[in-house]
Amino acid sequence: MSHRLLLWRRLKNQVFFTLLVFMSLIALFPLFNILWYVISRGLPELSIRFFTRLPGPVGMVGGMANAIVGTLIVVSLACLIAIPIGVGAGIYMAEYADDRFAAVCRFLADVLSGVPSIVAGLMVYATVVIWMHSYSAFAGALSLALLMLPTLMRTTEQMLLMVDTSLREGAFALGATRFQTTVQVVLPTAASGLITAVMLSIGRVMGETAPLLFTAFGNSFWQDGLNAPIAALPLQIFVYATSPYPQWQAQAWTGALTLLAIILVINIAARAFGRGKLR
């Protein structure tokens, strides 16, 4: 092989490599831009009172305490609804269903995951909100749960299918029933993966705004139980950001920063579980 050919090859390699690095930088740019922007715009209004006070009238110092608590309540409620159903369905698909039924479940889950979040909200509005004659924390949670379900089903199924069949057979060979095998061998083996999947699905719905608009609705005060409208960070951010008042606009950024921080913490925790570090 001639020397020049070798040089040419090395050059091609270099160009390709440089191109890839360049593409990665372009991909990362918006991400860091968003982070930097949210941090720099959100920091000025960051203070203790932001986390302890209710929103105040224009010109008065206020916070987003109710929205932060509201988001945590709505998301927790959504988890209470979605996790048992989603994980349960995933277990059923992986451990019990015959191939054809599991394929049907998988298809439906995929269709459901393609439903736009605003449609999920509209669904809950048209049924639960109209029926209960009220926006509510419960309705908001239901719309988020609808969005969590398909990912929970699919990721649970995948995590369980990753557990080696030889472990199930080992349990069967000891006289374990299918139920015992699932609960005592398969689930503990997949535990860290399952926790990661659950946390990632929580992180995904935490910032959802559209479905909450006409379900949880928002509230400038502390919520009055789960059957009443409730504040949520994304809603509060939406209202403040589109208001004409500079102070509210600044607080919207602080709200965004808080939301990002919560999601970041959840993601980091998910990753730590994924590596089995927090066993």
The answer to whether the CB of 147 falls within 8 A of the CB of 120 is: yes
Tell me how far the alpha carbon of residue 173 is from its chain's centroid.
Answer: 39
> For other proteins, which stretch binds (CB under 8 A), given 35-43, 129-137, 154-162, 173-181?
173-181
Looking at beta carbons only, is 140 or 193 nearer to other proteins? 193
**Nearest distance from C-beta of residue 176 to other proteins, angstroms:** 5
How far, in Å, CA of 148 to CA of 2, rounded?
59
Looking at beta carbons only, is 48 or 98 nearer to other proteins? 98
> For other proteins, which stretch binds (CB under 8 A), given 165-173, 220-228, 232-240, 241-249?
165-173
Q: At what angle do helices 65-91 and 137-161 cross, to 10 degrees?
A: 40
**Binding of other proteins by 275 (CB under 8 A):** no
Q: Within 51-110, which residues bind other proteins (CB under 8 A)? A: 98-99
How far, in Å, CA of 254 to CA of 250, rounded?
7
Q: Within 21-50, which residues bind other proteins (CB under 8 A)? A: none
**Nearest distance from C-beta of residue 159 to other proteins, angstroms:** 13
Q: Number of C-alpha atoms within 13 angstroms, CB side, residue 253?
A: 18
Size of the site for other proteins (CB under 8 A): 21
219 Cβ neighbours under 8 A, 6+ residues apart: 66, 70, 228, 229, 230, 231
Tell me how far the alpha carbon of residue 124 is from its chain's centroid.
Answer: 19
Looking at beta carbons only, is 29 or 96 nearer to other proteins? 96
> For other proteins, which stretch binds (CB under 8 A), given 178-186, 196-204, 214-222, 261-269?
178-186
**Nearest distance from C-beta of residue 180 to other proteins, angstroms:** 6
Among 1, 4, 57, 166, binds other proteins (CB under 8 A): 166
How far, in Å, CA of 93 to CA of 81, rounded?
19
How far, in Å, CA of 231 to CA of 144, rounded?
14
- Which residue ranges make up the site for other proteins (CB under 8 A)? 98-99, 164, 166-177, 180, 184-185, 188-189, 191
